[in-house]
Amino acid sequence: MTTPNILLTRIDNRLIHGQVGVTWVNHLGANLVVVANDKVSEDEVQQSLMDMVLPDVIQARYFSLKKTIDVIHKASPKQKIFLVVKDVQDALALKEGGVPIDHINVGNMHYEEGKKQISSTVSVDDEDIQAFKKLDKLGVNLDLRGVPNEKGQNILELI
C-alpha cells in the first residue's frame, strides 16, 4: 500500500464550484479532485454540473466514503489529489477509516436551524464541534479559510 499524494482535504458543502474548481485547484497544483460523499457518488446530474466547473486538464472522481477508504491507497503517485468532502462527519469517517488526512481546510458549512455561525462562511452545531475535536485529537490541522490567500485560522479557536 502506498501513501496517496493528498495535497489538501477541504470541507465545503457546495463541493466543487468556482472557488474549488479554479482557485484551489490552481493554487495546489492538483490534477485530480476526489469528491467523497455517499449521495453525490450516486447522483450523475450533480456530478456533471460539477465537472463543468473544472478545467479540462483536471479529472474528477465521485466516490462513496467506503469506496474512498478502499481505493485511496491505490492512487498513483502521479495523482496530485485534492480531496473534497461535504461536511466534517464525512472527513472524520475518512480519517477513522485510514485515509491519511493531516490537514483540513474548512471552507464552507452553511447555516441551518440549530447551528451557530462562527465565521462568515461556517456554521456549526454540537455534533460538528465534537467531530472537529476528534479530528484534532487524531492530529489533524484544522484551518478555516475560504481562499488560499486568506489568513487561515484554527477552527478550534472559534468553537
The domain ranges of the chain are 6-157
User: What's the pLDDT at 18?
Assistant: 81
Using DSSP's 3-state secondary structure scheme, residue 17 falls into coil
Residue 9's alpha-carbon distances to 65, 130, 143, in angstroms, are 14, 19, 10
Domain 6-157, CATH = 3.40.35.10
pLDDT in tens, 16-50: 988 788 899 999 999 999 999 999 999 999 999 99
Residue 24's alpha-carbon distances to 32, 33, 159, in angstroms, are 12, 10, 25
User: What's the pLDDT at 159?
Assistant: 87
Average pLDDT, the chain: 94
Most confident of 9-13, 149-153, 155-159: 9-13
Residue range 138-144: mean pLDDT, rounded = 97
Is the pLDDT assigned to residue 106 strictly greater than 80? yes
Active site residue 17: yes
Within 13 Å of residue 157, how many CA atoms lie on the same side as its CB? 8
At residue 1 the predicted structure's pLDDT band, cuts being 50, 70 and 90, is low
